[in-house]
């Protein structure tokens, strides 16, 4: 009898949860505009500098390799990307998008692993890039 | 409107409502005519707002897609108004369809986006809806929302855009049937009460959310609800009013709709089900309901 009551209580609890969740989905789905954004994201941001001079580099394309997301560093070398939260790690590529304008830099790939104990949604990432070797040719 | 004016107006909302509980939807016109949308979006996301756009996809390419997503865009609605010829006819541009499909391919490839495709149904595309459905499924679209075209703006004087009662029934029957196909979720928008078809054509019962959980800031700073409702319904302006103050203390027009019990709604026995229908279907003097889909459907299916 006690087992039956527990089962019944569990069923009602689960039913209430399911009902509550479906209500949220219905109540907030706007009819004008877009569907509601139900996912969470992670903010990866930082500054790209030159290894040699420590100066910020403008025009570096920063991409999440697996998800077709990218940003280009601004005048202060800063980038900011909101990435899909479901991923545990992010392969990030830094590549010179304006080759030669303020020096040419080597591409760099890195992997950001999320801390499984502290699921922070803010991930700072500062990166320095090496300049490409310059071969001087005398005419 | 300078973006900073908009941001300044809505920023106090983040002190009142939980982070991520508000979605800012940038519509138009066409939002991507502004080149700074990724920067605007990034500022919104940084301040705890979710954001999305409604677009015709014309200016949506690989670079735009990457920049919008990196700026935290999480929701998108793409307009596709039929197969190639019909879509291009409505958009009056022979390249519109091709651009929209480029956008569609990018959008459906994203794991991050909550998206749907919307189709405005009119007399020239209603018979190709089954073909549009199969086309969208072949493109891996998961959600399709169908609208009719309200007799407002330029559509007011174009008879080709207004469905006849028989065609409205055809649309409802099509949606009922399409909803049995689990490959893609098909929905009728909540633009109007549809009587016997309520709950058969969408997940939830008709409810006009204008001014209830939808507020808007228009291009001139006017504070209103959905952008397609009459400008006279505006409740204030961000250049002279505080947005939160207006949201909290204004909007009586939309939160108490007893004034809608007039014109064809005055003696309608279904009034309690729709409370005067959608705000955008009332004229600016609030004494005439421009179009009642339930009444039109009743001509062919009975009330």
B115-169: pLDDT as tens digits: 999 999 999 999 999 999 999 999 999 999 999 998 887 788 888 899 999 999 9
At residue A22, the pLDDT reads 33
At residue B154, the pLDDT reads 77
Backbone angles phi, psi at B302, to 5 degrees: 80, 160
Distance CA B204, CA B193 (A): 11
Lowest mean pLDDT among A35-39, B89-93, B107-111, B194-198: A35-39
State the CB neighbour count (10 A cutoff) for residue B267: 7
CB proximity A38 to B under 8 Å:
yes
Residue range B226-253, pLDDT digits in tens: 888 899 999 999 999 999 999 999 999 9
- Tokens describing residue B222: 């006017």
What is the rounded average pLDDT of the residues B64-70? 94
Mean pLDDT of chain B: 93
Q: Sorting pLDDT into bands at 50, 70 and 90, what band is B256?
A: very high
The residue extents of the domains of chain A are 1-34, 41-129
What is the rounded average pLDDT of the residues B90-111? 96
Tell me whether residues A68 and B210 touch, CB distance under 8 A: no
At residue B43, the pLDDT reads 95
- Tokens describing residue B55: 């677009």
What is the rounded average pLDDT of the residues B177-193? 95
State the CB neighbour count (10 A cutoff) for residue A88: 10
Q: Does the structure show a pLDDT above 50 at A20?
A: no
**CB pairs under 8 A, 24+ apart, for B201-208?**
B201/B172, B201/B175, B201/B176, B203/A26, B203/A29, B204/A26, B204/A27, B204/A29, B206/B273, B206/B274, B206/B277, B208/A31, B208/B275, B208/B277, B208/B278, B208/B279
Closest in A26, A37, A63 to B52, CB measured: A37
Tell me whether residues A33 and B77 touch, CB distance under 8 A: yes
At residue A29, the pLDDT reads 45
Tell me whether residues B214 and A67 touch, CB distance under 8 A: no
Alpha helices in chain B (DSSP H): 3-10, 37-46, 62-70, 84-91, 96-108, 129-138, 165-178, 243-249, 252-255, 271-274, 293-301
Distance CA B208, CA B210 (A): 6
Specify the length of chain A in residues.
139
Q: Can you count the helices (H) and strands (E) in chain B?
A: 11, 9
Lowest mean pLDDT among A51-60, B27-36, B52-61, B153-162: B153-162
**B54: chain A residues, CB-CB within 8 Å:** 33-34
How many Cβ contacts (< 8 angstroms) between chains A and B?
A: 109
What Å distances lie between residue B281 and A56, A77, B38, B123, B152, CA to CA?
Answer: 54, 50, 33, 20, 8
* Higher per-residue pLDDT: B19 or B203: B203
Closest in B42, B65, B190 to A31, CB measured: B190
* Higher per-residue pLDDT: A131 or A139: A131
At residue A6, the pLDDT reads 56
Distance CA B174, CA B10 (A): 41
Tell me whether residues A82 and B70 touch, CB distance under 8 A: yes
- For A100, residues 6+ apart whose C-beta sits below 8 A from its C-beta are none
Interface predicted TM-score (ipTM): 0.83
Distance CA B43, CA B87 (A): 34
Residue pair B153/B145 in contact by the 8 Å Cβ criterion: no
Distance CA B7, CA B17 (A): 15
Residue range A90-131, pLDDT digits in tens: 999 999 987 666 678 999 999 998 776 667 888 999 999 999
The CA-CA-CA angle for residues A49, A51, A55, to 5°, reads 40
Task: Give the β-pairing of A41-50 and A127-129.
Answer: parallel
Chain A residue with the nearest C-alpha to that of B78: A34
Q: Does the structure show a pLDDT above 70 at A24?
A: no
CB proximity A86 to B under 8 Å:
yes
Q: Does the structure show a pLDDT above 70 at A83?
A: yes
What is the rounded average pLDDT of the residues B103-123? 95
- Tokens describing residue B153: 């703006």
Tell me whether residues A35 and B116 touch, CB distance under 8 A: yes
Q: Does the structure show a pLDDT above 50 at A28?
A: no
Specify the length of chain B in residues.
303
What is the rounded average pLDDT of the residues B199-223? 93
- For B272, residues 6+ apart whose C-beta sits below 8 A from its C-beta are none
Residue pair B93/B86 in contact by the 8 Å Cβ criterion: no
Predicted structure pTM score: 0.87
Q: Which CATH class is domain A41-129?
A: mainly beta
Q: Does the structure show a pLDDT above 50 at A21?
A: no
- Tokens describing residue B75: 């929701």
CB proximity A111 to B under 8 Å:
no
At residue A80, the pLDDT reads 96
């Amino acid at each position: 009898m006690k087992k039956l009551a527990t089962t019944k209580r569990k069923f009602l609890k689960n039913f209430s949860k399911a009902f509550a969740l479906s209500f949220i989905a219905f109540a907030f789905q706007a009819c004008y505009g877009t569907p509601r954004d139900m996912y969470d994201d992670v903010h990866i941001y930082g500054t790209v500098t030159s290894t040699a001079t420590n100066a910020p580099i403008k025009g570096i394309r920063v991409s999440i390799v697996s998800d077709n997301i990218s940003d280009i560093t601004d005048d202060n070398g800063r980038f900011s990307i909101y990435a899909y939260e479901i991923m545990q790690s992010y392969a990030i590529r830094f590549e010179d998008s304006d080759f030669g304008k303020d020096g040419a830099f080597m591409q760099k790939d890195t992997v950001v692993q999320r801390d499984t104990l502290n699921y922070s949604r803010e991930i700072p990432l500062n990166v320095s890039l090496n300049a490409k070797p310059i071969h001087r040719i005398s005419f | 409107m300078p973006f900073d004016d908009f941001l300044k107006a809505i920023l106090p909302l983040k002190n009142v409502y939980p982070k991520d509980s508000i979605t800012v939807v940038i519509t138009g016109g066409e939002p991507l005519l502004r080149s700074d949308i990724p920067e605007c979006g990034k500022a919104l996301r940084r301040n705890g707002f979710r954001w999305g756009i409604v677009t015709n996809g014309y200016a949506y390419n690989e670079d735009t897609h990457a920049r919008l997503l990196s700026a935290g865009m999480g929701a998108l609605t793409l307009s596709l108004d039929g197969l190639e010829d019909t879509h291009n006819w409505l958009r009056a541009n022979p390249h519109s369809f091709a651009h929209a499909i480029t956008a569609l391919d990018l959008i459906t490839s994203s794991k991050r986006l909550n998206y749907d495709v919307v189709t405005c149904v009119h007399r020239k595309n209603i018979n190709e809806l089954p073909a549009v459905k199969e086309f969208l499924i072949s493109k891996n679209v998961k959600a399709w929302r169908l609208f009719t075209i309200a007799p407002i703006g330029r559509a007011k004087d174009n008879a080709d855009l207004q469905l006849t009662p028989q065609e409205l029934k055809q649309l409802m029957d099509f949606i009922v049937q399409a909803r049995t196909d689990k490959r893609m979720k098909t929905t009728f928008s909540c633009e109007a009460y549809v009587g016997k078809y309520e709950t058969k054509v969408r997940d939830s019962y008709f409810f006009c959310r204008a001014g209830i959980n939808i507020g808007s800031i228009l291009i001139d700073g006017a504070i209103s609800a959905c952008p397609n409702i009459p400008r006279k319904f505006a409740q204030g302006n961000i250049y002279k009013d505080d947005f939160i103050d207006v949201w909290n203390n204004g909007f009586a027009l939309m939160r108490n709709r007893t004034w809608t019990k007039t014109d064809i709604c005055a003696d309608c026995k279904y009034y309690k089900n729709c409370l005067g229908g959608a705000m955008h279907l009332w004229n600016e003097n609030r004494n005439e309901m421009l179009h009642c889909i339930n009444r039109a459907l009743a001509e062919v299916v009975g009330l």
